[in-house]
Homo-oligomer: A and B are copies of this chain.
Amino acid sequence: MPQKATFYHAGCSVCADAENVLAKSLDPKQFDIEIVHLGESRGRIAEAEAAGVKSVPALVIAGRPYHINHGADLAALK
């Protein structure tokens, strides 16, 4: 069964590029990917923070954060 992967972004250009190229490059057999726009879903910022996300875009796989380049600090979205 695919494991969950969550891609957090904030609609920034760095985020959009990472989403288009990297989030869509994950193996669909391995992952069930959810894309979360933290600017629109501010209620999920705490969940991202709890997973260790410090900036977006970031991918959380198996509960671990992978920051991809740097679009915006999470603090700037609050």
Interface size class of A (residues with CB under 8 A): 20 to 34
Residue of B25, B27, B70 touching A5 (CB-CB under 8 A) = B25
Chain B residues with CB under 8 Å of A30's CB are 25
Contact A25:B21 (CB < 8 A) given known A66-B69, A67-B68: no
CB nearest neighbor in B for A31 = B25
Could you tell me which A residues sit within 8 Å of B by CB distance?
Answer: 5, 17-18, 21-22, 25-31, 59, 61-62, 64-70
A-B contact pairs, 14 of them (CB 8 A): A17-B64, A18-B66, A21-B62, A21-B64, A22-B66, A25-B26, A25-B30, A26-B26, A27-B27, A27-B28, A65-B69, A66-B68, A66-B69, A67-B70
